[in-house]
Amino acid sequence: MTLLALALLLAPQDARPLPVEGASPALKKAELSGPRFVPPEVFHGQEDFHHPRLRRLREEYRLDDAVRGETSDFRRMLRLRAWVHSRWPIDNDQRFGGDAFEILEKAKTGAGFHCAHSMTVQYAALWAMGHVARNLGTDADHEKFGKSRHHGVNEAWSNEHAKWVLLDAKYDSHFERAGVPMSALEVHDAVRSGKTEGVSVVQGLDRKPAPLGGPDSIEASVENYWWVSWHLRGDSFTHPHWSGGSRLVVPDNEAFRTTVWHRGGANGLVKHWAYAANAFIPVKAAREIEWTPGVPGLRVRQSSEAELEVRLQSATPNFKEYEARLQGRDWAALPEARLSWKLEKGGNVLEVRTRNLFGVAGPVVRASVTFEP
C-alpha cells in the first residue's frame, strides 16, 4: 500500500446522514462520509495562481525539483518545509526585513535568519506549489517562563489528513498525536488543558523525534503554543503588508479573556496585545479557525423516482473544477457545479472532489444511497 493510499485510509470518515429533499420511500438509506464542508467566516484573501510572483518563485528556485516524484500530498509539504529549512542557518539576532525573494537572495550571502523569515518563505513556497497556507504567531506562558518567546510558524491544509497541519520551517518540525499531524489549535488546546500526553515533536521527512535542548527548546516545544494567533489575510506574498493584516484571529476562550498576552520588547515585558486595544478578532467556534479548503459540500434532491440532482459548493482557493465518479469507476471532470445521479437498484456510491488550478486534488466526499424501487 502506498503512503498516499494509507493516508487516505486513515483520514477521518465522519459518517453521517445525507439529507435528500423530496426523498421517496424507495430511498432506504442515504449517508455521507468524509470531511465536512466548512466555509471561511473570518479569514479572507488568497494567493492568486495567475500572479507572476508565484510563478517566479516556483521557477527561479526550482521548487518542482524539491518535490519531484513525491505523490503524497503531506510529504510534498514536508519536502518544501525541508527545502526552506536548508536555505540558511538559524540566527535569532537577524534584523533584516523583507519579503520571500529578498530573504532568499540575502541567504545566498551566507546570512542566517530566524522564525519570521522561515515562516515568510515557507508560506510563499507552499502557495507556489498549490497548497493552501497561512501564517501564525505563537508564544509561551510569560508568567511561567518570565518573558515572551514569540514564534512564527505556518499551517497548511492537508488533503490527505483532511485537516490543517502545523509546519515549523525554522526547526523542520511539527507535532503529532498517535501518528497524526496536529493543527495549531489542537496543540494550543493540549497545552492549555494539560493533556499533552502522547503529543510528540517530530522532525524531517522521516518524522523522527526531535531532540529538544538548548536555548530554543521552549520555542520548538508544545509549551510555545500557550498563545496562538492567525494572520487574518491570505495573500501576504502577492500583496505584502506588515504582518498579514492589522488584526489577529484568536480563539475566544477563557485563556484569552482572563490573562494578558505580553510580548518582549526593548524594555522587557510590555502589554502588546489586548482585547481592549481591538487588536484581536476573537472567534468562539473551532470551525471558524479550522475551515476546510477544497472540501465539497453536497445538496441533494430527488428529481425523479430513480434520479437525484446533486448541487456542489466549496471554498477552494484557485478553484478549477469538480470531479466525480460513480461506483468506483474513473474520475471525470464536471462541466458545472451540479450533476444528475441515476440510481441503480441496490447500493449506489457517488464520490466527489475538487481540483485547483495547480492540479492539486482535494479530499474525497462519499455519498452512499440504497435504492429499492
- Could you give the domains of the chain? 3-37+292-371 (2.60.40.10), 52-289 (no CATH)
**Closest to 114 in 3D by CA, of 94, 98, 128:** 94
Residues of the chain above pLDDT 70, percent? 88
pLDDT bin (cut points 50, 70, 90) of residue 109 is very high
Count of residues in the chain: 373
Contact 301, 324 (CB under 8 A): no
**Is residue 239 scored above 80 in pLDDT?**
yes
CA 261 to chain centre: 25
How far apart, in whole angstroms, are the C-alpha atoms of residue 224 and residue 142?
A: 10
How far apart, in whole angstroms, are the C-alpha atoms of residue 162 and residue 9?
A: 11
Cα torsion 79, 76, 52, 292: sign: negative
The string of pLDDT tens digits covering residues 112-151 is 999 999 999 999 999 999 999 999 999 998 888 877 788 9
What pLDDT is attached to residue 257? 74
Q: HSE on the CB side for 294, CA within 13 Å?
A: 28
**pTM of the predicted model, to two decimals?**
0.91
What pLDDT is attached to residue 245? 53
Mean confidence (pLDDT) of the chain = 89
**Closest to 334 in 3D by CA, of 298, 307, 287:** 298
The string of pLDDT tens digits covering residues 265-304 is 433 333 444 444 567 888 989 999 999 999 999 999 999 9
pLDDT bin (cut points 50, 70, 90) of residue 262 is low
